[in-house]
Amino acid sequence: AFTLLSMLVTGAAGQIAYSLLFSIAKGDVFGKDQPIILVLLDIPPMMTVLDGVVMELQDCALPLLKEVIPTDKEEVAFKDLDVAILVGSMPRRDGMERKDLLKANVAIFKSQGAALDKYAKKTVKVLVVGNPANTNCLIAAKSAPSIPKENFSCLTRLDHNRARSQVAMRCGVPASHVKNVIIWGNHSSTQYPDVHHCKVNMSGSELACFDAVKDDKWLTGEFISTVQQRGAAVIKARKLSSAMSAAKAICDHMRDIWSGTAEGEFISMGVYSTGNSYGVAEDLIYSFPVEIKNKTWKIVDGLTINKFSQEKMDATAAELIEERDTAVSYLAV
């Protein structure tokens, strides 16, 4: 006898949500016997589109989906939530300054953080997907002081999966044979995809990534830039941003929070940096390697960091500090 799980998806009329909702409602994330209430939030002009999404969810005839609540009101959307997936954000328009983008998103995530604080369960798990995800996540967390900072994370699992897949293709093995890649830092082109601790299963034996790939130049060059620029490459090709792969990464991220990570494996997610052992500045949402048990993440400690890695970890931290300071200055207004 499972109690109902109440979960919110924002930006619910958008294309990531369209790829995401079916997987969640079908039981791919919280398990095959976990009944779900789906709350779908979007802005008023999107309500008609959202009604279409609701019709389709009904037409999927899914046994676990007990109720679907479409709304444009925060007090309805955030009530008694167990899980919130914040996908909706202000997208960057052509010719838009980054600081204007930040300002618009601070307003959104300040408001949603306050709504989480006021209406959601204190145990709510919050995943921020809307970009700039790390900083949006930090603003939401700061705006919800009664919810533990540990309950907030941002999505870098898509970058993690991209890195894993690049290594797998290079070695000619399935992606499941590649583990413990790391995404450090910001979900932006300064992120650092690190394979110094990655293991590849080649015909039954586990090799260090550098020994499996046997191409240090590629691993310290083109591999990194491919992963960093992958989002832009998808937009260039499809004229739309990654939706199917983003939705899959959201499912992976939430499933791991819910069910835990496998023994000896870690995954990447953006989490609160205060108290980390890698010298990353405090009070950031920064992507680290984490292990998860009992719905609680823990940064993997004691990984050796060489000079090459340290420089890249510092560069992405510097960008996050600048983003945070700009965003926090708007928060005060």
306 is in an annotated binding site: no
Cβ neighbours of 261 (radius 10 Å): 19
186 is in an annotated binding site: no
134 is in an annotated binding site: no
130 is in an annotated binding site: yes
98 is in an annotated binding site: yes
93 is in an annotated binding site: no
164 is in an annotated binding site: no
CA angle 175, 177, 183 (to 5 degrees): 65
Q: State yes or no: is 177 an active-site residue.
A: no
Query: Catalytic pick from 177, 187, 197, 253?
Result: 187
201 is in an annotated binding site: no
CA angle 236, 239, 240 (to 5 degrees): 110
Query: Which residues are known binding-site members?
Result: 42, 92, 98, 105, 129-131, 162
- Residue stretches of the annotated binding site for NAD(+): 42, 105, 129-131
Active site residues: 187
